[in-house]
Structure 1
Amino acid sequence: MKRIQARWKLSALSCALFTFMSPTWAANNITETSTTDSAPTQTQPVQTLATLKFAATPNTAKDPDISAVAKTIVTREEMLQFGDQSVNDALRRAAGFQMPTPGQGPRGGGGASGMRFRGGGAPVFLINGEAVQGGPRGGMSIVDSLTPDMIERIEITKQPSVAQASVASSAVINIILKQPLNNTRLSGNARVGYGLAKSDQKEEERKNISVQLDGRDSPWLYSLSANQMWNDSTSITQTQTSTQTREQKRITQRKSQMLSPRLEYELDDQQNLVAELFYRNNESEGVRGDQIQNDQNDSIRLNTRYERKDQGNSDKLRLSVEQQNETESTQSSLLNSYTDERINEYGIGYDGVRKFNETQQLKFGLDARANELDSNVSQNLDEQLYALYAEGSWKFTDRQTVTLGARQEWINRSGLVEYSDHHLSPVLAHRFDFNDTWSLQTNISQAFLSPKTDRLLPTVSVSTDSDAGSLNNPDRGGNPNLRPEKITAFESTLGYNTPSGGINITAYQREIEDYIEKVIRQEGSRFVERPQNQDNATTYGVEISGRYALKQTKRGNSFMLNGQLSTVRAKVEDENHQQRLVSDVAPYTASAGLSYNYQPWQLATSVNLNYVPEFTRALDNQPYDRTSNERVNMDISITKRFTDGWATTLNARNILSTDYKERLTYQTDGSLYESRINQAIPSVLITLEKKF
């Protein structure tokens, strides 16, 4: 308790000494509640670039949120502007994320669940305010199946907020789905894409089809989103020890489907009922030598809501149910395993907002969820989660706003884990606007983060490739003995924002007791990676992000430039008071994007460059250092629009990319223990689109 109090004092002192802040330049869009679309015309690309939001327009929303908690908004126009094909493509431009390049990494990279943020765990993903999850052990989620055509905007809340359960998480990503166009009974677009990547020994073929339909027939609003993807690849992994070098070929066939109908009924101008259904299925078959790996993950989720909005006041009642199944089968001459797990989730929640006047606002709500997990290889696990929250904001001068909130959570687990606990998480945020362009925002919080269900299951997922079960490519499993993390966080951002863009500098620090880290231990003849509590950890760093936009000129030129640099230093102190850096967090990442539109030709182009430096980290309780190589990646997108709603897009991914290399060396003399290389390969995807 003394240590927590000391940290609070330190945070307060830090706040007084060097409080940096303002919401990110895009946070100025916090007043934006929807993005305006238009019927497909020849001038649509011009409208898209001209309406990029870099600062709020006072009349955009009658009752803007006055919370001092910063929020970043990525609009659908921006995603299309940059040629994004997925949510991950859009998030890579947001400062603070460390995302693996697809096809790289020990297991080929990953989707949303593979991201890191400020030395913490993966962000929490919401769809229209409802939490979504991956498979029982972090498999593919609905988020991985969404395309920009299905999305209205993405709201990123990096700082702690009790309203969206982001107090202890690294960030909350709320994906708002697209609303039908006004006065249109049916409109939409269809896309087909084909991509090919090939080198001497490695090849990847991608095909996808997506359809987005929506319309209005008062009082009904309806939409349907669907996509189908195929991805067949042949990859080469090279492993090396002090005595031999081996190459292993792996052939993988993947296919996935997503179907999402949505229906909304407007009771009157203030009230409406919403029902959303998400069906997702993902299948993968991989062959490596005599080993065959078959994985399948599918889910169906129903969200229903009652919504009422009256000026600044609103009420939302949420009901949800989801069932998902995940199977993994590994067959070889040395190993045969089969895992079959199912999760049933039921949820109910309420969110309310009361705006008493232009300077005072209150958010409050409750959340209750029940999970049932059935497994054929371990005990069943039942989980109940309950939460109450309240957050008040007061704009006590024309330029200063303070937000104070608290979230009380209860959790009960039974079966595999017998666990019961409750925590109170307070948050204090302050924003000061020096003038119309400069602002300063600070956030202090204390929170608890209970381990997710997939981290508790002891089930082992077997790795592939010739070095499966080694230190460089361990099997994966959970740990039923995990304790919750206790987090004290301080964050502050100084921002300069104008209608043409701006720059923001964020400084942050997190003190974490019982920090959960993925560590590798030998179990029998194989190495297994499992989450494990460390005594405590400290993560801190600085993020710099900026954008500049030249809106439409008389000659039809439009230009946008963005860039970000994110640093993070994550130190762990074990039970013996020995300190080291966390093994899988790069010291910094950098990215830059350039976008240019030429209206007379209806041509939109963008280039994005990402960089991760080489870094070396000691492995926990192992006599080795792991070195990850320097990596560069470039993506290029070119979109050409034609008459009658036709368009074609060329996406070139992993241009100039470097291979992903990991090297383990002895700490005593620096000699090689083992290494592995995953080859990077450029790919080209051509997409044909028709709007109607």
Structure 2
Amino acid sequence: MKIILDKALLIFATLLTVTLSAQTSYEVTGQVVESTAGDPVPYASVLLKAPGVEEPLAATTTGNDGRFRISTSKEDFYVEINFFGYRTERITDFTIQNGVISLGTVRLVEDSQTIGEVDVTVEKSSMEFQLDKRVFNVGQDLASTGMGAMDLLNNVPSVNVDIEGQISLRGNSGVQILINGKPSVLSDEGSNALGTLTADMIERVEVITNPSAKYEAEGSSGIINIILKKDEKKGFNGSVSLNTGIPHNHSVGVSLNRRTEDFNFFTQLGGGYRSLPRYNEAINYDLVDSNRVESEGVEYRNEQFFNITIGSDYYIDSFNIITLSGNFAFEDESQPSETNFQVFDGDNQLISEYRREEETSAGNPKYQYDLQYERQFRNHEDHVLQFSTQGSFFGKSLTSDFQNVTLEGVSLNPDQKTETEYFQQNFIYKVDYTNPLTDAITLEAGAQYELNDVGNDYAVFNETAGGDFVLDSGLTNNFEFDQKVLGVYATGSYEATRWGVKIGARIENTDLNTVLTTTNEVNTQNYTNLFPSAHVSYEITERFSLQAGYSKRIYRPRLWDLNPFFNVRNNYNIRQGNPNLQPEFADSYELTGIFIFEKASFNTSIYNLYTTDVIERVTVLEDNVNITLPMNIGTRHQIGLEVNGKYNPVDWMSINGDFNYGVFVRNGEFEGQNFDFVGNQWSTSLTSRFKLPASFEFEISGDYNSSYRTVQGNVSGFAFANLGVRKKLWGGKAVIDMSIRDIFASRIRETFVDQPTFQTYSFSQRGRFFTLGFSYSFGKGEAMTYSGRRR
């Protein structure tokens, strides 16, 4: 292990030495302003051209402050700057000092030949396709008003979030969720913290089915990277948002930003209240003695929340930036829920009927800090060295009271109390280096060290005949989870005019330790793996391109997969972890064709995903109790086809669609039972958007997820629809949004388990959600529609 890491670090150091000595190119800097008022001109085009050649050597656009920086390795060139409504400025006379050309302030003169007023609207596509990822832009998604991050992900092609909050990519679990390119406490599924983000806070979602070696190898199905908004308009800007909804979904939020020459300060704060009801139904049927248990009820999760985020970018000079940000949030949670139970014997006679009432309260503090230093080199704007460190904490102090009210028959279960003290601490230290050696060749190298420290102290108390509560030692324990991952990577890419290639490799060492402190059960795992990646792209014509990619991935079991202790909310339907669970590995291959037409664009992907040591949730029935736990069972080989695209038949209408179909082969054996079978799974979504008179916009979307076979039964298919309406006021300074999610309350999760000795059935449903929001912005630009609610 030490030899491998020493060699990897030597390779990393060598790459840094070679790339730092790369050839120097010419860098052109300046600021574009209006000739009369002197205001900055954002988004002006800056081109470097060779005399007599129409195709530019390099191109960029100015930022919100009118500034630009652009580089080239050519010696004979001139600078051309243009913007709609202004005369083109051509600069041929300039001075070079140490490879830098400073043009100072460039003043654009208004073109007097421009007649009348022209309304120019730039609309981002909902989906953008890049070399190794797809980018879903949230801004145009009307139905996302007041939506949480989990619901928003359901609108992203290839991604599905079931009603239990389980995220899958192309029908496969084991997805790595990143926030701004980094792991975060907010992305931990088990803590439900991802639900603290709202669509209003998210700028875009990147779906990376075949990540390069630059990214962590975590996530056997790929990576979903959620990029949060951070406004950087110069001057003082901000927005205020109000939201309300049914069921309860009320919040107020404020977002503020102050940008100066050297500093960019940003803050968000807000608070509110929301309720998340869910209807549940379950049946356990023992085929040996014909005993049956039925349950149904509604669970509520009511939350009051407050959050504040504050941070600053400090521009030391044109090439050095330091960013420090922090976030604190607190949730006061309650779960007033009721479930009705009926227990029948083999003769279908009712033995017991009772109502289980729950009163749960919890305080959930969480905070996070992020410190980042970025060094840009003079020879190229993409020549960057970046150091970053991130720390986060999520806690939960929870108490529950369960009372059983007997309605008929005998009393089978005592009243219970539970106490939970949970915490999760994550620390990440990272260095990344990128060097464009030439206009075509780029090298990347870096390293990351991540530490995860998690604990779950869980206690259960049963009521005695005398009314006292006694600790249940069989259900009580303290589970500690400690994991350290060290990764080192290097990639190289070549991008010509028509084609490009990128290859890389990553080495990761994992050191995992878990312990049940009360019973002193210890599990230790230490392993080192190599994760190669390769990507190729070729532009056949201007309208048709091909891309191919390969990557090796890993999914490491997390606390909620490993912790054997469970919640006693439902004594007959229990989910628990497996401390002996092993990681699953996946090899992913993909070939994609990109087609661009005048009014339409779409891409088609053929993919092959082979996963070993597949983590599967297995159900066993013991004494009428359904116990579900994760197990490593065999292999899963999936071959699929995915098609998504956009069509604009007229200026006021756009249609986005996605279709994904996969055939999978499962091979495995568990406790003497063979699980070999062939299945298929498909999903489709369609979104139509309309621009109406008087600055109204309307959107409606529909989704369908097919049924599919599991190792023990099957999961039902379902369809659901959303709609949204938006009205812009005062030139976009204010926005009113309305949306209805799951219009027909048809989004469900229905699971059947059919085994030789038992059958189980479960059904869950969230229902219809209605939201109404208002946002007003001041400063520059349109309303940012931050909700400022939960982060």
The answer, yes or no, to whether TM exceeds 0.5 is: yes
User: Which residue identity is paired with 2:367?
Assistant: I
Q: Residue 158 of structure 1 contacts residue 172 of structure 1 at CA under 8 Å; is this kept in 2? A: yes
Q: Residue 662 of structure 1: which of 750, 764, 788 is its match?
A: 750
For residues 423 and 440 of structure 1, the distance between their equivalents in structure 2, rounded to whole angstroms, comes to 30
Is 1:365 aligned to residue 442 of structure 2? no
For residues 295 and 218 of structure 2, the distance between their equivalents in structure 1, rounded to whole angstroms, comes to 46
Structure 2, unmatched stretches of 5+, are 1-58, 67-118, 286-291, 339-355, 404-413, 458-476, 516-522, 779-791
Task: Report the alpha carbon displacement of residue 405 of structure 1 after superposing the two structures with TM.
Answer: 0.6
Q: Residue 325 of structure 1: which of 395, 400, 404 is its match?
A: 395
Q: In structure 1, what is the equivalent of residue 767 of structure 2?
A: 681
Which structure shows the higher strand fraction?
Answer: 2
Q: Residue 515 of structure 1: which of 614, 623, 643 is its match?
A: 614
Is 1:571 aligned to residue 665 of structure 2? yes
For residues 437 and 577 of structure 1, the distance between their equivalents in structure 2, rounded to whole angstroms, comes to 52
Q: Residue 426 of structure 1 contacts residue 445 of structure 1 at CA under 8 Å; is this kept in 2? A: yes
Is 1:145 aligned to residue 196 of structure 2? yes
Task: Report the alpha carbon displacement of residue 637 of structure 1 after superposing the two structures with TM.
Answer: 0.6
For 1:620-643, what per-residue CA distance to the aligned partner results, in whole angstroms no more than 9, with x for missing partners? xxxxx3452x42211111011222
Q: Residue 324 of structure 1 contacts residue 344 of structure 1 at CA under 8 Å; is this kept in 2? A: yes
Q: Residue 137 of structure 1 contacts residue 455 of structure 1 at CA under 8 Å; is this kept in 2? A: no
Q: Residue 55 of structure 1 contacts residue 501 of structure 1 at CA under 8 Å; is this kept in 2? A: no
Change beyond 3 A, Cα 1:663–1:166: closer
For 1:475-511, what per-residue CA distance to the aligned partner results, in whole angstroms no more than 9, with x for missing partners? 2222111112232221111111357441111111122
Q: Residue 601 of structure 1: which of 687, 691, 694 is its match?
A: 694
Q: Residue 207 of structure 2 contacts residue 224 of structure 2 at CA under 8 Å; is this kept in 1? A: yes
Describe how 1:129-278 pairs up with structure 2 within 5 A: 129-134=181-186, 138-141=190-193, 143-166=194-217, 168-184=219-235, 186-196=236-246, 204-232=247-275, 235-239=278-282, 247-278=296-327
For 1:440-484, what per-residue CA distance to the aligned partner results, in whole angstroms no more than 9, with x for missing partners? 11112334433234322222133x4xxx344xxx32222111112
For 1:233-277, what per-residue CA distance to the aligned partner results, in whole angstroms no more than 9, with x for missing partners? 555444557878664344442233332212110111221100121
For residues 635 and 81 of structure 1, the distance between their equivalents in structure 2, rounded to whole angstroms, comes to 6
Aligned length: 601
Q: Residue 91 of structure 1: which of 153, 160, 168 is its match?
A: 153
Is 1:50 aligned to residue 123 of structure 2? yes
Q: In structure 1, what is the equivalent of residue 384 of structure 2?
A: 314
| TM score, norm. by length of structure 2 | 0.70
For residues 527 and 760 of structure 2, the distance between their equivalents in structure 1, rounded to whole angstroms, comes to 43
Q: Residue 132 of structure 2: which of 64, 70, 77 is its match?
A: 70
Task: Report the alpha carbon displacement of residue 78 of structure 1 after superposing the two structures with TM.
Answer: 2.8
Q: Which stretch of structure 1 is more off in the superposition, 79-88 or 210-219?
A: 79-88
Q: In structure 1, what is the equivalent of residue 737 of structure 2?
A: 649
For residues 272 and 378 of structure 1, the distance between their equivalents in structure 2, rounded to whole angstroms, comes to 43
User: Which residue identity is paired with 2:422?
Assistant: E
Sequence identity percentage: 18
Q: Residue 194 of structure 1 contacts residue 686 of structure 1 at CA under 8 Å; is this kept in 2? A: yes
For residues 153 and 65 of structure 2, the distance between their equivalents in structure 1, rounded to whole angstroms, comes to 22
Q: Residue 291 of structure 1: which of 346, 355, 358 is its match?
A: 358
Task: Report the alpha carbon displacement of residue 586 of structure 1 after superposing the two structures with TM.
Answer: 7.5
User: Which residue identity is paired with 1:191?
Assistant: S
Q: In structure 2, what is the equivalent of residue 10 of structure 1?
A: none
User: Which residue identity is paired with 2:357?
Assistant: D
User: Which residue identity is paired with 1:385?
Assistant: V
Q: Residue 171 of structure 2 contacts residue 681 of structure 2 at CA under 8 Å; is this kept in 1? A: no
**Secondary structure in 1 matching 2:206:** strand
User: Which residue identity is paired with 1:257?
Assistant: F
For residues 187 and 244 of structure 1, the distance between their equivalents in structure 2, rounded to whole angstroms, comes to 59
Q: Residue 305 of structure 1 contacts residue 316 of structure 1 at CA under 8 Å; is this kept in 2? A: yes
Higher relative contact order (CA 8 A, sep 6+): 1
Q: Residue 345 of structure 1 contacts residue 369 of structure 1 at CA under 8 Å; is this kept in 2? A: yes
Q: Residue 49 of structure 1 contacts residue 81 of structure 1 at CA under 8 Å; is this kept in 2? A: no
Q: Residue 615 of structure 1 contacts residue 627 of structure 1 at CA under 8 Å; is this kept in 2? A: yes
Q: Residue 432 of structure 1 contacts residue 441 of structure 1 at CA under 8 Å; is this kept in 2? A: yes
Query: Which structure has the bigger radius of gyration?
Result: 2
Describe how 1:18-33 pairs up with structure 2 within 5 A: none
For residues 354 and 564 of structure 1, the distance between their equivalents in structure 2, rounded to whole angstroms, comes to 36
For residues 238 and 482 of structure 1, the distance between their equivalents in structure 2, rounded to whole angstroms, comes to 29
Task: Report the alpha carbon displacement of residue 579 of structure 1 after superposing the two structures with TM.
Answer: 3.8
Task: Report the alpha carbon displacement of residue 393 of structure 1 after superposing the two structures with TM.
Answer: 0.7
Change beyond 3 A, Cα 1:92–1:499: farther
For residues 366 and 578 of structure 2, the distance between their equivalents in structure 1, rounded to whole angstroms, comes to 24
User: Which residue identity is paired with 2:426?
Assistant: E
User: Which residue identity is paired with 1:427?
Assistant: S
Q: Which stretch of structure 1 is more off in the superposition, 658-667 or 149-158?
A: 658-667
Task: Please give the root-mean-square deviation of Cα atoms over the aligned residues, in Å.
Answer: 3.3
